[in-house]
Amino acid sequence: MAGKIGESEQSAKYVGKAVNRVDGHSKVTGAATYAAEHKIDDLVYAALIQSTIAKGTITKMDTSEAERLPGVKVIITPFNAPRLSSKSTPSGRSLLLLQDKQVQHDRQNIGLVIADTWESASHAASLVKVSYKQTEPQVEIEKHATYEKLKSTTSEIGKQISAAGHKRGDFSQAFASGAHKVDQIYSTPMESHNPMEPFAVIASWEGEHLTLYDTTQAVFATRKTVAEHFDIPESHVRIISPFVGGGFGSKLSTWSHVILAAMAARKVNLPVKLVLSRAQMYGPVGFRPKTIQRILLAADKNGKLTAIRHDNINETSHFEDYVEASTHTTSRMYACPNLITSQNQVALDIGTPTWMRAPGEAPGSFALESAMDELAYELGLDPIELRVRNYPEKDPESGLPWSSNSLRECYKVGAEKFGWHKRNPEPKSMRAGKDLLGWGMAAATYPTYRMAANAQVTILPSGEALVQAGSQDIGTGTYTIMSQVAADTLGLPIEKIKFELGDSTLPRTPLSGGSMTAASVGSAVQLACQTALNSLIKTAIADQVSPLYQAKAESIVARDEGLYLSSDSKKGERLTDIIKRNKLKQVVGKAESKPGNEDEKYSMHSYGAIFAEVKIDSDLVRPKLTRMVGAYGAGKILNLKTARNQMFGGMTFGIGMALMEHTLIDPKLGRIMNADLAEYHLPVNLDVPNLDVIFIDEHDPHINPLGAKGIGEISITGVAAAIANAVYHATGKRIRDLPITIDKIM
């Protein structure tokens, strides 16, 4: 039987190693084609017209001056836009597609200009004069969900999504009789994804067939959405997306501009390219919503949690319900018999929020892990000790055993690496020179997801293999990891693997979200490779000339570009010899790999512990992060290099979340006022200290054939709380409202 990764470490030449990115060269040389870079004949350019108000009705769009510009082909507005089939989309989005004249949020797409050049299109777009009947927008969640209201009750605020809440035991009674308590409100701001590559699409029709070169985290969902809006079969739509310059969740959905580009291409009967500017991405392509969270904790005198309550309110748009599931992990993070959580929403005149790296977990862990720190001080207990005392031996919500859980190991290893034992817990007690020094920590968790995925492997007479899966590589290293899995399974050097993805005509795979691509697609690639090998093995053992003639299939392994007896490494032959002798054109293996009922038997999650050090000047009070250590139990780490890369990215994301990220909306105008990277602050190099990432050696036989848990999202989870806890330790100031800026500490 062909090698199974994880079972035979010997066969794993690539998996688990720090393998260079197979697409690295093409990326640094510019050979990698991102959506907007595909060379298409007869291309014309579209530029979006976006609303400059947040609420109202468009009464007129004067396009006369714009139309007179040379090169302008057509201007599509709500007054002349083709009618579309208005079906709900698979991603649950309800898109605003020029089908009416309502303006529901700032920077809503309200038209587009198509012209010979991008310059003419964008100039013309700026000349279109839009008249509105304006209404005062409501953009402040605080007006509808005040802290006072939240303190008295949560059920009256906004719309409660009860299905998204958890309840066990009797919270009220347990809280009332708790010996030590915390009752606080935490909030996190609106944040924007800001992937390096902007949203971009090229739409090209041939009759009733549409090809879209799109930057997306979900080629198959995009295909479905587009097909439904144009009332054509999915088979008539092809999505091509070989490279994606980051998405962080924003590119999981098919947003309105994709449909509008296709609409425009159909109208002018030419391929149309549409690229959003940085500013145009603040509104119509999602963001992380502001959350207001109340947490109540009670513990007995030994620090055992007796009651947990976590209520979350998030902002959403008027045309879609988006739930930022901040309370989700709270129900199973700590052993506690009495718990209640709720998810609530307030609809505002803003675009629809969407998933952003660890949606729910990132803001939720800020609140919960800050509250745990507060409880540790309340109890006079070390925050790690408090967490260890409340470690759940099994999933407290479902009662299922963990498939694996290295959380305590993470605390231990992380604390050792950080030097936690040298911490004096007293706030303001530690110094680095004249600066205040603060050490804080937090726990993190993220579920292990997996979905059905397909892959196809073609072993060629040359001895090379073409491996294909629809999928996406959003910068995480999918090309590389899949090539590693294929190379190890087939026993080929990685140079002989060609991996193709990012195309809806390739085998169906899930979206790249929820940190599940490695596990889902990787399992399918492995199975497809095994299927192809099995067919070659069959050929070999039936072939009288083969040294493997009449050998048992189970006794044959793939290695060194051939098939050999596991008991006798000399007995066997090269794949190319089998193929040549049997005059095979190629050997194909197709497979679907899907989860079984393991989630009925096990509770499956990654865990981590994050340690942060800040230095704070006592006058100027800006926290400077000087060190961070993260220890993670995330199953089998398929590629140490890309994995560390992911962790660095996520931790850096967390630094931004903790200290600077904040999308600012003018309260009266309802307009986002920091829609560029000079004013929307992300960490720069100097803000990111040495980051230390430790992966616990974790073997989980239950989760999936590769034993891999996701890492993309746990990497941001808990970071903001660790930093906030460090700031408290340094200054004695508990900042419960992100980001932690000078004005809040002063």
- Footprint on this chain of another protein (rule: CB under 8 A): 52-53, 119, 122-123, 126, 617, 619-620, 622, 624, 659-660, 664, 666-669, 671, 673-674, 678-679, 681, 683-687, 741-743, 746
Whole-number Å distance between alpha carbons of 384 and 89: 45
Judged by CB, which is closer to another protein: 335, or 682? 682
Judged by CB, which is closer to another protein: 21, or 105? 105
User: In the numeric block, which tokens belong to residue 273?
Assistant: 């390219």
* Strand ranges across the sheet with 623-633: 430-432, 435-447, 605-616, 623-633, 690-695
DSSP state of 495: G
Smallest distance from another protein to CB 728, Å:
19
Beta-carbon contacts of 75 under 8 Å, excluding residues fewer than 6 positions away, are 63, 66, 67, 111, 112, 113, 114, 124, 128
Judged by CB, which is closer to another protein: 401, or 689? 689
Judged by CB, which is closer to another protein: 138, or 530? 138
Judged by CB, which is closer to another protein: 63, or 341? 63
**CA–CA distances in Å: residue 374 to residues 339, 380, 442, 538, 665:** 18, 10, 12, 64, 31
Cis link prior to 739 (omega < 30° from 0)?
A: yes
Judged by CB, which is closer to another protein: 18, or 673? 673
**CA–CA distances in Å: residue 208 to residues 88, 164, 261, 269, 410:** 21, 41, 15, 11, 55
Q: Among the residues of 92-195, which ranges form H helices?
A: 118-127, 141-144, 147-152, 171-176
User: In the numeric block, which tokens belong to residue 539?
Assistant: 């050929």
Judged by CB, which is closer to another protein: 343, or 731? 731
SS3 258: helix
Beta-carbon contacts of 68 under 8 Å, excluding residues fewer than 6 positions away, are none
Whole-number Å distance between alpha carbons of 258 and 699: 42
**Environment class of residue 393 by beta-carbon count within 10 Å: exposed (0-12), middle (13-18) or buried (19+)?**
exposed
Q: For Cα atoms 420, 719, 378, give the angle at the middle one, nearest 5 degrees.
A: 60
Smallest distance from another protein to CB 584, Å:
56
Whole-number Å distance between alpha carbons of 435 and 505: 58
Whole-number Å distance between alpha carbons of 94 and 742: 39
Smallest distance from another protein to CB 729, Å:
21
Phi, psi of 691 (to 5 degrees): -110, 130
Judged by CB, which is closer to another protein: 163, or 678? 678
Judged by CB, which is closer to another protein: 118, or 319? 118
Judged by CB, which is closer to another protein: 57, or 555? 57
Judged by CB, which is closer to another protein: 161, or 669? 669
| Residue (of 593, 596, 603) closest to 522 by Cα position | 593
Query: Cβ atoms within 10 A of the Cβ of 672, count?
Result: 24
* Sequential DSSP letters for 308-323: EEEEEEEEEESS----
Beta-carbon contacts of 619 under 8 Å, excluding residues fewer than 6 positions away, are none
Smallest distance from another protein to CB 119, Å:
7
Residues with catalytic annotation?
713
Smallest distance from another protein to CB 629, Å:
20
Whole-number Å distance between alpha carbons of 336 and 338: 6
Judged by CB, which is closer to another protein: 224, or 671? 671
Smallest distance from another protein to CB 671, Å:
6
Q: Facing residues of 238 across strands?
A: 211
Whole-number Å distance between alpha carbons of 364 and 392: 19
CA atoms within 13 A on the CB side of 478: 36
Smallest distance from another protein to CB 717, Å:
22
| Residue (of 276, 273, 266) closest to 82 by Cα position | 266
Whole-number Å distance between alpha carbons of 343 and 363: 13
Smallest distance from another protein to CB 669, Å:
6
664-668-671-676 Cα dihedral, nearest 10 degrees: -40
Smallest distance from another protein to CB 739, Å:
8
Whole-number Å distance between alpha carbons of 442 and 213: 41
Across 515-584, the runs of DSSP E, i.e. the strands, are: 556-559, 562-565, 572-574
Smallest distance from another protein to CB 135, Å:
16
Whole-number Å distance between alpha carbons of 588 and 83: 44
Beta-carbon contacts of 29 under 8 Å, excluding residues fewer than 6 positions away, are none
